[in-house]
Amino acid sequence: MADRVDTSAQELDCDAGVADWDLVRECLPEPMQVLDDVGAARLTPILAALTAGGWSPRQVRNHLQAQPLPEYVHSMAGLVCARLRRLPVTHPPTSHDATPTPAVMTDADREVEARRRAWLDDPQAQARHRRQIAEARAVIRAARVSQDVS
């Protein structure tokens, strides 16, 4: 059986990792590139392992595009990690492998995509998002400090 991506060990090292945005942009479809530096750093070792194992960025992208995005995504990095866990590291698909084609966009999919794009173009929404991320990071830091003090 082909080796699977060992994301458990890679996710443990993600905090120390550095995001390779070129690799992320190459391998991820555009709708999945809505990541912060932490999310990109989390995906970089997984994408690097796949490309080192013979997967082309296009093959990874095609795999990720084969399933439509859910309407609400809490963590894009988490969703991408979950989808990449299904891939064998050293066995990229060949031309005779049955690769699912992306689903045809429905009106509901177009509406979701339009809302997402409107959000991306709204500087106030982006500012709120950055503020919420900063607040969440502050809460996490405070929790770590209180654990260290205890």
Tokens of 81: 């990690």
Tell me: do 79 and 9 sit in the same domain: yes
Which structural domain, as residue segments, surrounds residue 7? 1-103
**25 and 65 share one domain:** yes
- CA-to-CA distance for 70 and 74, rounded, in angstroms? 10
Lowest mean pLDDT among 66-80, 82-96, 127-141: 82-96
* Token pair in block for residue 144: 């770590």
Whether residues 119 and 76 share a domain: the answer is no
Cα–Cα dist 54/93, whole Å:
9
Per-residue pLDDT, averaged over 133-138, amounts to 91
Q: Determine contact, residues 92/59, Cβ cutoff 8 Å.
A: yes
Residues 6 or more apart whose CB falls under 8 angstroms from that of 2 comprise 88, 89, 90, 91
Indicate yes or no: pTM above 0.85.
Answer: no
Same domain, 90 and 131: no
Q: Among 37-46, 57-66, 75-84, 91-100, which is the least confidently predicted range?
A: 91-100
Same domain for 112 and 99, yes or no, is no
